[in-house]
């Protein structure tokens, strides 16, 4: 099976129904995507497929329809994505476990809606759980990233 992940083409020998999460972590050694619940309810495993935020724990490898982007591919080698930088600036992460999924969901939101309201942010981020409860900092970081992306 051929997959393009973070701009690199890969050939993997896996079962068609293997979840993308395990292909990324176990076959390609891409560890930024996290296992959280396994049933697409927490968002820790969020990646982009052709820019759309998806839960990789419930996406079969054979069902991948385009290029996969993980947190490792969100920015560039020379600069963090505006969302990543906003997370640092707002010190969003506490334990950090959910944060790659949070950032991937936020980046997808901002690609679709460059000027989200608080309600837009709350709705888009609703499926991403943070055990540490940093939701206010997450919202502030999304707003900061939106401003930075609009300035660019």
| Domain ranges, ordered by start, for the chain | 2-73, 82-151
Which structure tokens are listed for 124? 């888009």
Q: State both tokens at 15.
A: 């079962």
This model's pTM is above 0.85: yes
The label of the residue with tokens 């759309």 reads 52
Residues 6 or more apart from 18 whose CB is under 8 A from it?
60, 61
Residue 75 has a pLDDT of 95
Give the CATH H-level superfamily of domain 82-151: [2Fe-2S]-binding domain (1.10.150.120)
CATH code matching the domain that covers 2-73, chosen among 3.40.50.150, 1.20.1050.10, 3.60.21.70, 3.10.20.30? 3.10.20.30
Count CB atoms within 10 A of the CB of residue 81: 21
Q: What's the pLDDT at 152?
A: 84
Low-confidence ranges of the chain (pLDDT < 70): none
End-to-end CA, the chain: 37
């Amino acid at each position: 099976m051929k997959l393009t992940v973070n701009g690199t083409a890969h050939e993997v020998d896996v079962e068609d129904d293997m979840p993308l999460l395990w292909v990324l972590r176990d076959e390609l050694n891409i560890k930024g995507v996290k296992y959280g619940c396994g049933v697409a309810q927490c968002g820790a495993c969020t990646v982009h497929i052709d820019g759309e935020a998806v839960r990789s724990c419930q996406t079969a490898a054979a069902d991948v329809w385009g290029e996969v982007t993980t947190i490792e591919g969100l920015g560039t080698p020379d600069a963090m994505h505006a969302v990543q930088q906003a997370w640092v600036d707002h010190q969003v992460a506490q334990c950090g476990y959910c944060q790659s999924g949070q950032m991937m969901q936020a980046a997808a939101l901002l690609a679709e809606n460059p000027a989200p309201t608080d309600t837009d942010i709350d709705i888009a981020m609703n499926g991403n759980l943070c055990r540490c409860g940093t939701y206010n900092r997450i919202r502030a970081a999304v707003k900061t990233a939106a401003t930075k992306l609009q300035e660019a």
